[in-house]
Amino acid sequence: MQPIKAIYRSLCKAEEVFTCIGLILLVILVLLSAILRAFRVSMAWNMDMAMLLLAWTAFLGADVAYRHGQLLGIDLFTRGLPIKLRKVLQIVVYFSILAALIVLAKFGYDLAIFEIKRTFASLPIPYSIVTLSLVVTAISMVVSTLIKLKDCFVMFNSDQMTGQRED
């Protein structure tokens, strides 16, 4: 089981590095495009590449935030409930998330296949590369959700809620 955990950690780290690099490149491309536009120099490929980076960076960034328990949550309604009921609700929510992610992955894949021949206006890259960001992220979030569900079941009989942070 240890090699699988090591591979998973490596993939998570690679995802974080890719997200950071993608965000930096996105800012540079948009800033460069704005500066060059002031000098009436047009770089059409800049915006297409920025759109590609935005999709991948946003979706992978959402997965990183989800894995580390950093997405916005509201516990106003559940805070006063008994711990066992909160755990049951947490499991129900994770199963709902799992179902939604499976649907996103399936239909995202179908859309990527449908758009395989469509290319960017200024780049010879298939537009389905953008759509695949949704599929890759949904699959990664499925794995994260399954890990969170496993933790919920393991900790179900304890007096603590499962931790939202996975550092």
| b/e code 39-66 from CB counts within 10 Å (16+ = b) | eeeeeeebbbbbbbbbbbbebbbbbbeb
* Residue 118 contacts residue 131 (beta carbons within 8 Å): no
In this prediction the pTM is 0.83
The confidence score (pLDDT) of residue 99 equals 97
Instruction: Kindly write down the DSSP assignment for every residue of 85-129, as one continuous string.
Output: HHHHHHHHHHHHHHHHHHHHHHHHHHHHHHTTT-B-SSSSSBTHH
Are 102 and 142 spatial neighbours (Cβ–Cβ below 8 Å)? yes
Q: Which residues contact 64 (CB under 8 A, 6 or more apart)?
A: 12, 15, 16, 19
**What does the pLDDT look like over 115-131, one tens digit per residue?**
888 888 788 888 889 99
Token output for 162: 């499962």
pLDDT of residue 163: 57
Residues for the chain: how many in total? 167
Crossing angle between the packed helical segments 128-154 and 2-38, to the nearest 10 degrees: 140
Residue 165 scores a pLDDT above 60: no
pLDDT at residue 167 in the model: 38
